[in-house]
A and B are shown apart, each in its own frame.
Chain A
Amino acid sequence: MPCREHRLLRLRVKGLAQDNGLKTMTFQALAQIVVSGLLMGLIYALIAAGLSLIFGLMDVVNFAHGEFLMMAMYAMFGLVLALAVDPVLLMPIVAGLMFALGAIVYLGVVRHAMRAKVNAGMVQVFATFGLAIVLRGLAQLFFTPDFRSIPNTWLGGKTLNLGGIFLPWPQLFGGAVSIAAFVGLYLLISRTDFGRALAATREDAGAVALVGIDRNKVFTIGWGLGAGLVGLAGSVMAIFFYIHPDVGGPFALTAYVTVALGGFGSIFGALAAGVIIGLIEAITATILPTEMKSLGIYAAYLAVVFVRPRGLFGNI
């Protein structure tokens, strides 16, 4: 704290290298900031995708979302340990396991919370909040609170150097998975019978029963899909991030803001908002002291909802 002035002075020269030509390095540094922010943003979007889907379908905020992410990471960790196969190949299994977890959580917890006559929203929040604590406790019981990571993977620690701009392979892969997941989600919702049932249920859960759609079945699959998407996110994260029972927290908050910024009910909004948040975070960190980089995200959210109270692309 005594060197505040020094700090402020330094801020202006951040991102400029000292010895090389200033112009090229500035461009490179800038490009690196943008690219890193973009890749991180795609991963934020991927984490938020499941939350967005569940929310859009049934107006439920899943407070255990961060813990779902944590479970997916541990699932990947455990599978790699047991099968000695690379995480990239195990992704479908993790997504499948998470689909099952999501369906079970809907049938076992959320379905009952939805019966509440008063303040169903808050009941769901706290039922899933309780669930989140249980999941953290279970992770600590079965895996101990040690910090884990998966060593020696195909992608882990490898970086693509594009003329001085560094693109880590795990994040590149994560970005690709993220885009693929959103494309898949779009096709599912717009091109399949299930997608139409999903949309119809979202519009009017009561009326769909009349046309023979089993609301409960749609919700169960919806939760499964949402959790399965978190499974993909967790699989990617497990390659380049550490794993422990509390790992989900910081990501969950970003995911909530991402979904709200994009607009509740809009899958595309989550993608756009994820990327925007990644970029804003990276840019804020170069303008403000780095410990305040989240302020940029918060300010962006407030600025958007004050102008557009339903987020960027929301319809709810």
Chain B
Amino acid sequence: MTKSIHPTLNRRTLLGAGAIALASSVTPALAQQKEVLIGAIFPLSGASAQVGVDAKHALETAADIINGNYNFDLPAGKGGGLAGLGGAKVKLVFADHQADPQKGRAEAERLITQDKVAAIVGSFHSAVAATISATTERYQVPYFSADNSSPSLNRRGLKYFFRAAAHDEMFTVAMFDFLDTMRKRGEKVNSVGLFHEDTIFGTDSSNAQRDTAQARGYNLAVDIKYRANSPSLTAEVQQLSSANPDVLMPSSYTTDGILLVKTMSELGYKPKAIVAQAAGFAEKSLFDAVGDKLDGLISRASFSLDLAQKRPVIGKVNEMFKARSGKDLNDNTSRQLMALLILADAIDRAKSVEGPAIREALAKTDIPGEKTIMPWTKVAFGEDGQNMNANPVLLQYLGGKFVTIFPESAAIAKPKWPMN
């Protein structure tokens, strides 16, 4: 187990790491070895382990950017370490929550009390984020939500909860904005079909989609909830096929996404168009498996590699990530990477590793969109800790890669519509 070496000494660290603290105060050269510990809680085993392991690569890439001597025009991207803390390096402590809210909470407590982390990043599963963020609130340590997409998380009046990326409702609005423009262009987009898993993600996503569809006058042709990680989706696909909506909107993770596409192809169902709530439809594994059947698929996203043409730094960051993971940055990994950069920037500005000071700095965050790797207009948190300027984009999978098709300002290609 690692004990942290802190630039600021409080009673606990003095007791816990007295000898090391003494050493660092005696030898000035050791000042450069100061570390800021940041906890990262993700699913590192179990059904979602792939997301967690990818997140590990993304966060380690971000730590490289922060600690290494780069000159990236990104938060905490210049110089080595955090200037505000005398060049202190960011060190990540990873923990596995196994998709269990109780375990997520226990790990958060461990990281805060034993490792004395300055902040926690997490956690993919929104249910686990609920217990982690309740714990960090009690210990006055910021919880930075990298990739939780449940809109309920920022509605609990927590002061130490921050999320730079969009939540499901914001994503859904973007998806329907796109459908509206297709309608205006004279395409037949009257009915939508929802296909979502029976989890917190599937429920949040489909609730937002159902409400938005009704509010904007789309007919709900079919609304299928399915058991996540089903052995078979044949019956579900038959129902989709017989309803044949103008737009199929899946909210599925990789497993069910792969099975859905395979089953659709087996049963000869070619949806007119697919507009996906990312998740599985942003994962390399899915396109490796069934990409040939998905030409023309549209997915909302937090991230687009196209943006690298305008902002070369994105390409460089992507190369760094790819060297670690063998994958391009995607919807999840880009959010995780960006989360650590924004958090490090706040710690740098706070010039402190104390939770309340970091919270204050986070609340004052104002990073223009051009200084991120995301298509966002800027990063600035509301009272509830949510960044409302995290504009999503829509990507279309064309010729084996994703291109941005919406909004117009970011688009580099015209959407292919309908898909089949």
- Binding partners A and B: yes
| Contacts from A to B (Cβ < 8 Å) | 1-3, 6-7, 10, 14-18, 25, 29, 32-33, 36-37, 40, 44, 136-137, 140, 144-149, 151, 157, 159, 161, 166, 168, 171, 240-242, 244-247, 249-251, 254, 281-282, 285-286, 289-291, 293-294
Chain A residues with CB under 8 Å of B231's CB are: 40, 44, 250-251, 254
Contacts of A37 in B (CB 8 A): 234
Q: Is the CB of B50 within 8 A of A285?
A: no
In the complex, the answer to whether B223 meets A3 with C-beta atoms within 8 Å is yes
Contact check, A147 vs B268: say whether CB atoms are below 8 A apart: no
In residues 42-90 of chain B, which contact A (Cβ within 8 Å)? 45-47, 49-50, 52-53
A73 to chain B, nearest CB (A): 13
* Leading 4 A-B pairs by shortest Cβ distance: A285-B235, A145-B49, A168-B266, A149-B289
Contacts of A44 in B (CB 8 A): 231
Q: Could you show 19 A-B contacts with beta carbons less than 8 Å apart? A: A17-B242, A18-B243, A36-B238, A136-B45, A145-B49, A157-B262, A161-B268, A166-B268, A168-B266, A168-B267, A240-B266, A242-B254, A242-B259, A242-B285, A242-B289, A286-B235, A290-B226, A291-B198, A291-B225
Secondary structure at chain B's binding surface: helix, strand, loop or mixed? helix
Question: How many whole Å from A23's CB to the nearest CB in chain B?
Answer: 14
A244 to B288: give the CA distance in the assembly, Å: 14
B230 within 8 A of partner (CB):
yes
- Taking CB atoms, residues of chain B closer than 8 Å to A10 are 222-223
State how many residues of chain B have any CB contact under 8 Å with chain A.
Answer: 47
How far is B236's CA from A147's CA once the two chains are assembled, in angstroms?
Answer: 22
In the complex, chain B residues whose CB is within 8 Å of the CB of A245: 49
CB distance from B226 to the nearest CB of A (A): 5
Q: How far is the CA of A147 from the CA of B254 in the complex (A)?
A: 8
CB pair A291 B226 closer than 8 Å: yes
* Closest beta carbon of chain A to B57's beta carbon, Å: 11
Q: Is the CB of B286 within 8 A of A166?
A: no
Given contacts A14-B239, A36-B235, A249-B229, contact A240 B262 (CB under 8 A): yes
Residue of B235, B244, B254, B255 near A290 (CB, 8 A) is B235
B207 within 8 A of A: yes
- Residue B227 CB within 8 A of the other chain: yes
B207 CB contacts on chain A under 8 angstroms: 1-2
Given contacts A32-B267, A148-B285, A246-B46, contact A15 B224 (CB under 8 A): no
Whether A15 lies near B289 (C-beta < 8 A) is no
B91 CB to nearest chain A CB (Å):
24
Tell whether, in the assembled complex, residue A246 and residue B47 are in contact, meaning their CB atoms are under 8 Å apart.
yes
- Kindly list chain B residues whose C-beta atoms are within 8 Å of the C-beta of A40: 231-232, 234
In the bound complex, what is the Cα–Cα distance between A181 and B224 (angstroms)?
Answer: 36
The answer to whether B236 touches A285, judged by C-beta atoms less than 8 angstroms apart, is yes
**With known contacts A7-B223, A29-B242, A147-B286, A2–B262 Cβ distance under 8 A:** no
- Does B235 lie within 8 Å of A282, measured CB to CB? yes
Which residue of chain B lies nearest to A147 when distances are taken between CB atoms in the complex?
B285
B220:A145 contact, CB within 8 angstroms: no
Which residue of chain B is the closest to A14 with respect to CB atoms? B239
In the complex, what's the smallest C-beta–C-beta distance from A96 to chain B, in angstroms?
A: 26
Find the B residue at minimum CB distance from A167. Answer: B266
Q: How far is the CA of A18 from the CA of B222 in the complex (A)?
A: 12
Bound Cα distance A10, B259 (Å): 24
B283 within 8 A of A: yes
B238 touches A147 (CB 8 A): no
Chain B contacts for A7, CB-based, 8 A: 223
Chain A minimum-CB-distance residue to B242: A17
Indicate if the CB atoms of A294 and B242 lie closer than 8 Å.
no
Task: Please tell me which one of the listed residues A1, A146, A286, A290 contacts residue B285 in the complex, with CB atoms under 8 A apart.
Answer: A146
Given the interface pairs A29-B242, A149-B258, the reply to whether A282 lies near B234 with Cβ below 8 Å is yes
Quote the shortest CB–CB distance from B212 to chain A (angstroms): 12
Query: Closest chain B residue to A253 by CB distance?
Result: B231
Q: How far is the CB of A102 from chain B (nearest CB, A)?
A: 22
- Inside 8 A of A36's CB, which chain B residues have their CB? 232, 234-235, 238, 267
B270 CB within 8 Å of chain A: no
B265 interface hit (Cβ, 8 Å): yes
B residues in contact with A281, CB < 8 Å: 232, 235
A157/B265 in contact, CB under 8 A: yes
